[in-house]
Amino acid sequence: MKRSGGILMPISSLPSPYGIGTLGEDARSFIRFLKEAGQSFWQILPTGPTGYGDSPYQSFSSFAGNPYLIDFDDLCRHGLLKTEEYNKIDWGKDPEKVDYYRISQERWKVLKKAVDRLIADPPGDYGAFLEKNRYWLPDYSLFMAEKNDHGGGAFSGWNKAIRLHDPETVRSERKRLSEEICYHEGVQYLFRIQWDALREFAHQNGIRLIGDVPIYVSPDSSDLWGHPELFQLSGDGSMNEVAGCPPDKFSASGQLWGNPLYDWDRMKRDGYDWWTRRIAHQFTIVDILRIDHFRGFESYYAIPGDSADARVGRWRKGPGIGFFRTIEKKLGHLNIIAEDLGYLTPDVAELVRNTGYPGMKVLLFAFDTRDTGYGYLPHSYPHNCVVYTGTHDNDTVEGWMKSAPEDCVKKASEYLALNEQEGSNWGFIRTAYESVADLAVIPLQDFLGLDDSARINVPSTTGGNWVWRTRKESISMELAGKIRHWMEITDRLPD
């Protein structure tokens, strides 16, 4: 890979008048900014419909698109909405935060009007869209219709027959809820049309998209509901063990994620068909795919399903290199980034090397004196890696400089030669750009020098995450020029 750069920012963090970033003009404007700044990539994080906690890593589907990201103005331009149907609604008072409650109360009503018009006069490619996505769309659409019918409750609380996906009950429910099923199918069509248009616009401007696939699915998802045979479940559909991470120097009780665990032996027997479809689908959306929690493919941590935290659990073997060889045999060479952060063993490092995928280096990790020896200092980087100042799970650089232990800040200041005139954030950015890493990706917040109020996510917490948004005036041509300057002098400009 040629030396290059990218910016990390979820689409939800874009400015817009309607409460959350969307796939419309502000996204196109950001792509123009990326081009002017000499960037080659936009890293966007997962794009699925968000569930509990508003996290895109706990999505209702591994295949569906997030309805919140559909742009109203673009729908209006295509005759599917009228301006007065959405521009006077209160979408939230703070332009720097997403008000998910307001959006959940109002957005579905507006989209219903657009879908009604869509279905009344469906475009010529609508039937082809439904057919192309029949592997996942019927289950997802029924799942969402059932959720609404059950007051939004998780499917673990539904009546037994539908909860266990009884075929006869599913057929009966498809008839009973056919109108709402058609609605959710229409929403997914609108998302995909807008997404494809945005991706094409990005390509026209020399920008490629880096997506993200969470290793696990949500315990409240159409994936688990529609394909229970692929997961480690008991006869009643409950989870005997769930996913997470063991205690470490950063968390005395570990991380209890609560996701269902895959039945890897069962998946291997059909050539990892579900995973093949999942990854193939993602590559129709993005150009490069970051696989989250990559170490879980070598070994994964299994926690008893009734545990209150992650202190009790056991490591179990994952599918290993055979999984990736099977996927690439079916799909060909794949542009994948391995999220190889956290507790790594020699076996995990060997798996990353054997795949040939670039791993990740996070500069903020390099200066934490509680945890050393993982190769995060730039002088130890290989070329085949992606360097970040921080990710969506880290504090911003400025937030870290204010909150990290004094000895950590001192170590960073000395190694990076930080100074007030340049600013700590630019010192970190400069070092990332100067490193030998083939790709340097910087969160937008670090370019803007924002503190922890702009942090996107604090792992293992709920509430207050995934809400940060940038202001329109912050994405300026002056900033683009400064970024481009550093791209040029570190030989990261695109050809």
Tens digit of each residue's pLDDT (9 = 90 or more) over 150-196 = 999 999 999 999 999 999 999 999 999 999 999 999 999 999 999 99
Structure tokens that stand for 445 in this block: 């917040």
- Do 13 and 469 touch, CB atoms closer than 8 A? yes
- State residue 373's pLDDT score: 47
- State residue 371's pLDDT score: 63
Compute the C-alpha angle 11/396/342, nearest 5°.
90
- State residue 369's pLDDT score: 75
Single-letter code of the amino acid located at 90: D
Where helices occur in 212-345 by DSSP H, the ranges are 222-226, 264-269, 273-282, 321-331
Give the catalytic positions in this structure: 292, 339, 393
Compute the C-alpha angle 133/183/215, nearest 5°.
45
Residues of the chain with pLDDT under 50: 373
DSSP letters, 72-118, are HHHHHHTTS--GGGTTTS---S-TTB--HHHHHHHHHHHHHHHHHHH
- State residue 252's pLDDT score: 86
Query: Model pTM?
Result: 0.96
- Determine phi and psi for 42, rounding to 5 degrees: -120, 115
3-state secondary structure of 361: strand
- Quick: pLDDT tens for 22-52: 999 999 999 999 999 999 999 999 999 998 7
- Quick: pLDDT tens for 341-372: 877 889 999 999 999 999 999 999 999 876 65
Q: How many CA atoms lie within 13 A of 420 on its CB side?
A: 0
